[in-house]
A and B are shown apart, each in its own frame.
Chain A
Amino acid sequence: MDMNESSTRDGTGRLAHHGRGGELFVVFVVNLVLRIVTLGLYHFWAKTRVRRYLWTQTSFDGERLEYTGTGLELLVGFVKALVILMGGVLLVAAALSQLEALALPLVIAIYFGFPVLAGFALYGARRYRLTRTRLRGIRFGLDGSGWDHGLKLLGYGLLTVLTLGLYTPYMRMKLAGNLYNNTRFGSEPFTFDGDGRDLFGRFLLAVLLTLPTLGLVWVWYQAAEFRYTLSRLRVGDIAFELAESDMNLAWFFVTNALIVVLTLGLGLPWVMVRTLRHLGEQMVISGQLDYAAIRQAQEESEATGEGLAEALDLGAF
């Protein structure tokens, strides 16, 4: 068996996925049985098990990723998040019962507080997953603060509302920048210099074509944004590019949705695997990492952020 699973040196194939839909389907069946038997409690372990499969079947420069998170961590994070949320709700209810005049300021506080909380949760979830992801034994990491991300989400969100949505691509690139510029592989930082300006034209086009295409144009925009985001990302000297066009990637997303719908959800494992495989095949990667110079850094984080994201149904993968 060839240890160097990336054989080509033209830049494609350095990221590769080796998973099989059938294998992942069995993982889903195992998870389903255990979820039923445990009355749903296995959910957190199930999630972990799927991630472990997808991570380990994905290789970069011939070495597979490793997922080290555990179901117990996710369960504890979820319970903590629930306690925090319930505490918040009880606090608001208690305040209201004491003083009716607080109602309006409280409603305003909740409206402003929710994006901050959501940003905090998403950032925490990202941090949890990155610190549980290893390549060559070295952890990924996310610096920066979740509250800072939440405040940014609120601030850019307000700007977006004030500009009737026109600020959206700028907001999305700024938030992506905050995430990627704080991401590290061990001691090696990621950098991101995407700018909403570069997407604004396509964003306007998508707005104009929303009605004539019954909204389908947004799949194309999503593909374009994804390809653009990737192209502005660096890890050391490494740069990424998707070889295919925006339109091709959009069509790929559409076929994924069709497979899931037409198989009534049974095709989901195949869709997961084929998506990662497709991205690996299309991704052109240039530059080299000086692996020996990359050191282990940053301790693992706790899973409260991920728990909060789950409790708020923010759809973290």
Chain B
Amino acid sequence: MDYRGWWNDGQSAGRLEVRVRLLGPRLLVSTADNDAAVAELSLAGLALAEEVYARQPVRLKHDEWPDARLTVADHALMTKLIAAEPRLGHRYHGDRGTLHRLAIWGGGLLAVVAALVGVVQFGAEPLAAAIPQEWEKALGEGLMADFIEHYGLCDGEPGAGHVQALTDVLASAPGSPHRFRVHVLDGAEVNAFALPGGYVAVFRGLLERADGPGELAGVLAHEVAHGLERHPTEQLVRRSGFSLLTGLIAGDASGFAVLAGDVASFMADMANSRADEREADRLAMALLNDAGMDSRGLPRFFEKLQSEDGDLPQALALVSTHPASEARLAETQALARAGADPMTEEAWLAVKRACDGAGT
């Protein structure tokens, strides 16, 4: 069977209309008008010049004729060529539709992204555990310095010292990875947080809102529990992993990839933080009970925040970073026990005055 095509000899831009025949392991190229031989191309040296899709002429090149090209429009030739030399099918996509290819590669894309998300999600915990404590310490110290610079520090003594002493008691559990350092920040937010390396911060707003040292002890125990479980480091590792992943996917700065990455990262954050909060609640109750302290302060504080939610905007800060729920309240209530006061009434009054000298 003859195929019609064009022969470009690579010497001049003129082209020759040719007849192409597949004969054994070679293609015979001859002139279309009088069948004079033009070239004999072994299949072994034959290659497609580029990927071939449907409706696109097939352009072939050959080892022995580096500048020459043979172009044939009829894809029936390709079917025969691939049967004789399967290697030639590698760049041939003329037999598969766009949707077919999209399904294959789109599925591949989803699988690869899902696998990488899994690596980041589940690899964060072991990776965080492998980070040397000195690094965590340096990281937390640097971050805390930024917070102190932004909010100002409440270091009024002896109040600040009492907060640290209470933290030391709570964090004295055996196997603690860090010595915990607590700072009171001069901000109105009713909030507290933990950073990598055992750094904990409590806002002035929380000290003002707390009724008695029991509630402060509950919140501190919760943050110390985060630190003991290395949640802040895990979260940091996970976030860096997700942003690396987004950068990799959005290599050519496609807005869609960046948006999708951010949404995925946010959703993972929310899911992780819910699990982390429950874990920290349980451990906090254990820390309080082991220290022989009255552990009813934490659930009482939750309860207060929930009931005040509507009319107290500052309270929202703690709720948004510490998603409260009926379940958390019920769980902490179930674990709560009576016990000793975390500090004397005199010490508590000093804590309340820790910020008196700040911000002036």
A interface vs B, CB < 8 Å? 1-3, 18, 20, 22-23, 25-26, 29-30, 32-33, 35-37, 39-40, 43, 49, 52-53, 55-57, 63-64, 66-68, 134-138, 185-186, 188, 261, 263-266, 268, 289, 291-296
Contacts and interface: CB of A to CB of B under 8 A. Distances in A.
Contacts of A40: 248, 251
A194 B105 CA distance: 46
Given A52-B51, A67-B50, A266-B254, A292 B248 contact: no
A52 B93 CA distance: 14
B39 to A, nearest CB: 13
A9 to B, nearest CB: 18
A66 B59 contact: yes
Given A35-B248, A57-B56, A137-B67, A25 B102 contact: yes
A33 B256 CA distance: 15
B73 A1 contact: yes
B101 interface: yes
B255 A3 contact: no
Given A33-B109, A268-B254, A1 B74 contact: yes
B53 interface: yes
B98 A20 contact: yes
The 9 tightest CB contacts between A and B, nearest first, are: A137-B8, A292-B14, A265-B254, A264-B256, A264-B255, A294-B13, A1-B73, A291-B13, A136-B13
Contact of B254 (A53, A57, A68, A264): A264
B49 interface: yes
Interface string B75-116: 000000000000000000000001001100110110011001
Nearest to A47: B252
B6 A3 contact: yes
Pick from A23, A33, A39, A137 the residue with the most CB of B within 10 Å: A137
B179 interface: no
Contact of A56 (B8, B56, B102, B249): B56
B63 to A, nearest CB: 15
A2 B10 CA distance: 23
Contacts of A52: 50-51
B26 interface: no
B12 interface: yes
A27 to B, nearest CB: 8
Contacts of A266: 254, 256
Given A1-B74, A137-B8, A296-B67, A33 B105 contact: yes
B11 A3 contact: no
A185 B10 CA distance: 13
23 contacts: A3-B73, A18-B55, A23-B98, A26-B105, A30-B101, A32-B109, A35-B251, A37-B112, A40-B248, A53-B51, A56-B49, A64-B56, A135-B13, A136-B8, A136-B13, A137-B9, A186-B12, A265-B255, A294-B12, A294-B13, A295-B12, A295-B13, A296-B12
B13 A138 contact: yes
A52 B105 CA distance: 19
B12 A292 contact: yes
B296 to A, nearest CB: 51
A29 B352 CA distance: 59
Contact of A264 (B15, B51, B259): B259
Interface of B: 4-6, 8-15, 49-51, 53, 55-57, 59, 67-69, 71, 73-74, 98, 101-102, 105-106, 108-109, 112-113, 116, 248-249, 251, 253-257, 259
Given A40-B248, A64-B57, A292-B13, A137 B68 contact: yes
A263 B256 contact: yes
B38 to A, nearest CB: 14
B56 A291 contact: no
B48 to A, nearest CB: 10
Given A37-B112, A66-B50, A296-B10, A291 B15 contact: yes
A296 B256 CA distance: 44
Contacts of A66: 49-50, 59, 69
B105 A39 contact: no
A68 B47 CA distance: 13
A42 B311 CA distance: 55
A56 B61 CA distance: 14
B14 A291 contact: yes
Given A20-B98, A291-B12, A294-B12, A30 B255 contact: no
A140 to B, nearest CB: 11
Given A3-B71, A264-B255, A268-B254, 10 more contacts: A22-B102, A40-B248, A57-B56, A63-B15, A138-B12, A138-B13, A261-B255, A265-B253, A292-B13, A295-B11
User: Quick one: which of B5, B13, B249 has the most chain A CB within 10 A?
Assistant: B13
Q: Find the residue from B11, B50, B116, B249 having the highest chain A CB count within 10 A.
A: B50
Contacts of A188: 13
Contacts of A32: 109, 249, 251
B102 A26 contact: yes
A22 B98 contact: yes
A181 to B, nearest CB: 20
A294 B9 CA distance: 12
A25 B103 CA distance: 12
Given A63-B15, A263-B256, A137 B50 contact: no
A273 to B, nearest CB: 12
Contacts of A23: 53, 98
Contact of B257 (A56, A138, A263, A265): A265
Contacts of A43: 251
A293 B109 contact: no
**Quick one: which of B4, B15, B249 has the most chain A CB within 10 A?**
B15
Contact of B112 (A36, A134, A292, A295): A36
Contacts of B67: 137, 296
Nearest to A138: B13
A85 B249 CA distance: 27
A134 B249 CA distance: 33
B323 to A, nearest CB: 30
